[in-house]
Chain A
Amino acid sequence: DVKVTQSSRYLVKRTGEKVFLECVQDMDHENMFWYRQDPGLGLRLIYFSYDVKMKEKGDIPEGYSVSREKKERFSLILESASTNQTSMYLCASSLRFWSGANVLTFGAGSRLTVL
């Protein structure tokens, strides 16, 4: 069964700490995404990557960075966590070919609490 795996389901960090959220996919997908999910706001795109070492900012990149050194792995980094970054973080992947019906496969999410 193909998967997107987020290594940490629940994290509790303190303000100012550096946080790494890891995501691995086994489907050989070119595109990978990091979304943030908050009640009433839906999913908001933080960053996406369409190839190794390539990245583009999404709608809310401030306070975040990403790393994609290998095709299967996409990491989200919070350089200095703040309380307003308490949220559910969802990683997703998809094929590169744009057929007008691109489908995202999501991980189970990482719930981050910043105290």
Chain B
Amino acid sequence: TQLLEQSPQFLSIQEGENLTVYCNSSSVFSSLQWYRQEPGEGPVLLVTVVTGGEVKKLKRLTFQFGDARKDSSLHITAAQPGDTGLYLCAGGLRVSNTGKLIFGQGTTLQVKP
């Protein structure tokens, strides 16, 4: 069974602070996605990385895929209350054409004003 370990599970910080969320596995993934989920809603895709070592930026969010495609990180600079939510990483497996994803446990982020 493939596992994706996400850490930390909970993070409460003040507005303006920086933070990093990690996603680690012993499995190699063909892609790694990050989703954000707000209360009462389903997860929404933030980014997809597919190449080992790839770095993508989305405003104050920086996503990195590990060189070996086994891990990923999400870094938020100068967090704002609007960043509050549940962040989920998901690894893509090239086992079939069904697009099955393996999800991490999630990181609940609270940014206090």
Q: Which residues of B contact A35 (CB under 8 A)?
A: 103
**Chain A: minimal CB distance from B26 (Å):** 17
B85 close to A (CB within 8 Å): no
Residues 55-99 (chain A) with a chain B CB within 8 angstroms: 56, 59, 90, 92, 94-98
If A4-B42, A100-B94, A103-B48 touch, whether A42 touches B6 (CB-CB below 8 Å) is: yes
Verify B43–A56 contact, CB threshold 8 A.
no
Main secondary structure of the interface of B (DSSP, over half): loop
Verify B100–A45 contact, CB threshold 8 A.
yes
Q: Which residues of B contact A42 (CB under 8 A)?
A: 4, 6, 88, 103-106
Number of interface residues of B (CB under 8 A): 30
B31 close to A (CB within 8 Å): yes
The residue on B at minimum CB distance from A44 is B103
**Chain B: minimal CB distance from A6 (Å):** 8
CA distance A107 to B41 in the complex (A): 7
A27 close to B (CB within 8 Å): no
Verify B101–A102 contact, CB threshold 8 A.
yes
